[in-house]
Amino acid sequence: MPATRTPAQQEMLNSTFSRFWGEVDHLWTVAGQDQTNEARALIRTRLESERSTMTTVIARLLVQNSEAEGAAVQQITAIYGRVEKNLYMLLAAVVAAISITSALVIRHDRRVFAQLTRLSEERKELAGQVISVQEDVFRNLARELHDEFGQVLTAVGVMLQRVEKKLPEASRQREDIHEVREIANQTLERVRSMSQMLHPPVLDDYGLENSIEWYLRQFEKQTGFQVHYEKIGIGPWIGDTVAIHVYRILQESLNNIVRHSGTTEAWVKVAYSPATLCLDVEDHGAGLEGKPARKGLGLIGMRERAELLGGQIEFQRPAEGGTRVKLVVPLPAGGVHE
């Protein structure tokens, strides 16, 4: 261990070696002068003593060396310990940094998600409000048309009939009045059917099932379409708040068939079960696919209404081609909505 040997120890080692080699040189000189006995005596006395001194010094230095080695090993172990501790601390810091970053990211994501959920809820609520305001307006308009204009036109019709009866038969005036009365009657019919289209009074009075049947008859009459109607199961009483949306989805689906399918036939299937109502409206015409996406409000409105009912709506392509609007609405236990 030259690094730990002190100058005094080095000096002692050097002097021991030089004294030993000095004695060896002297011995060779004496032996060279044929003084063999003296040389032997020198070996026994001075050389032997120098050898034992040298051995003692070397042994002491070896002991010191091994002590120094032990201390070095301890130092190295301590250094390794410190390095290990530092590594653990670094590792802990890295893990902590990752954990904190992840926690912050998760918190941020959660906030964004909560915000999105809130916005989506608000949008849903707003859409629901818009639709219910629209339904209120339609209902009021339908009532106004029916009550105000309907009554006025009925009164006009009655008065014209009275005048007509007073006029001489086959006279020109009587013919004119008759014609005006016809126009008034036709207008009254149109006002009535507009009022019914806006909000069918049968929906409030006779329920969804009857309203659908009434509407399909009206639809066939007005458009010349052939509607194949199928009803499965017995419809429970479904209150106006649910029925109006199902009714509107049927109306929009059939109107779309008239406007976009290019056919003159439609299939309507309503299946009632205690827990659900399924409505399928189908045509075998042009179909929805492959058309440039048009921003019509009809399909969007149907989706909004289905969502309001907690139901699902799908736009499918039947095997025969064309379009199928498939609506499934859950009915609460007992099947009574209000």
Binding site for Mg ion (CB under 5 A): 256, 298
Q: Residue 290 or residue 334: which is nearer to Mg ion going by CB?
A: 290
| Number of residues assigned to the chain | 338
Tell me which of Mg ion, ligand ADP, none is bound by residue 128, counting a contact when its beta carbon lies within the kind-specific cut-off of 5 to 8 angstroms: none
Task: Determine if 257 is a binding residue for ligand ADP (CB under 6 A).
Answer: yes
Q: What is the DSSP string of 303-332?
A: HHHHHHTT-EEEEE--TTSSEEEEEEEE--
Tell me the Cα Rg of the chain.
55
- Would you give the DSSP letter of residue 227? E
Helix (H, G, I), strand (E, B) or coil at 35: coil
Tell me which of Mg ion, ligand ADP, none is bound by residue 283, counting a contact when its beta carbon lies within the kind-specific cut-off of 5 to 8 angstroms: ligand ADP
Q: Residue 274 or residue 296: which is nearer to ligand ADP going by CB?
A: 296
Tell me which of Mg ion, ligand ADP, none is bound by residue 24, counting a contact when its beta carbon lies within the kind-specific cut-off of 5 to 8 angstroms: none
The least CB distance from residue 260 to ligand ADP, in Å, is 3
Determine the interface stretch with ligand ADP among 17-25, 197-205, 287-295, 306-314 (rule: CB under 6 A).
Answer: 287-295
CA atoms within 13 A on the CB side of 327: 31
Q: Residue 283 or residue 304: which is nearer to ligand ADP going by CB?
A: 283
Task: Determine if 328 is a binding residue for ligand ADP (CB under 6 A).
Answer: no
The least CB distance from residue 253 to ligand ADP, in Å, is 7
The least CB distance from residue 258 to Mg ion, in Å, is 9
| Sequence-separated (6 or more) residues with CB below 8 Å from residue 187 | 153
Task: Determine if 199 is a binding residue for ligand ADP (CB under 6 A).
Answer: no
d(CA 157, CA 204): 28
How many residues of this chain interact with ligand ADP, rule: CB under 6 A?
A: 17
Given a contact cutoff of 8 angstroms between Cβ atoms, the answer to whether 235 and 209 are in contact is yes
The least CB distance from residue 298 to Mg ion, in Å, is 3
Compute CA distances 222 → 111, 193, 217, 218, 236, whole Å: 53, 10, 9, 6, 29
Q: Binder to ligand ADP among 123, 124, 259, 317 (CB under 6 A)?
A: 259
Q: Residue 245 or residue 337: which is nearer to ligand ADP going by CB?
A: 245
The least CB distance from residue 250 to ligand ADP, in Å, is 13
The least CB distance from residue 197 to ligand ADP, in Å, is 16
Q: Residue 199 or residue 324: which is nearer to ligand ADP going by CB?
A: 324
End-to-end CA distance of the chain: 100
Tell me which of Mg ion, ligand ADP, none is bound by residue 285, counting a contact when its beta carbon lies within the kind-specific cut-off of 5 to 8 angstroms: ligand ADP
SS (H, E, C) 1-29: CCCCCCHHHHHHHHHHHHHHHHHHHHHHH
In this structure, the number of other CB atoms found within 10 A of the CB of residue 120 comes to 10
CA atoms within 13 A on the CB side of 67: 8
Closest residue by Cα to residue 14 from 41, 54, 56: 54
Q: Residue 260 or residue 305: which is nearer to ligand ADP going by CB?
A: 260
Q: Binder to ligand ADP among 7, 291, 319, 333 (CB under 6 A)?
A: 291
Q: Binder to ligand ADP among 285, 303, 307, 326 (CB under 6 A)?
A: 285
| Sequence-separated (6 or more) residues with CB below 8 Å from residue 159 | none
- Give contact residues for ligand ADP (rule: CB under 6 A): 256-257, 259-261, 283, 285-288, 291, 294, 296-299, 323
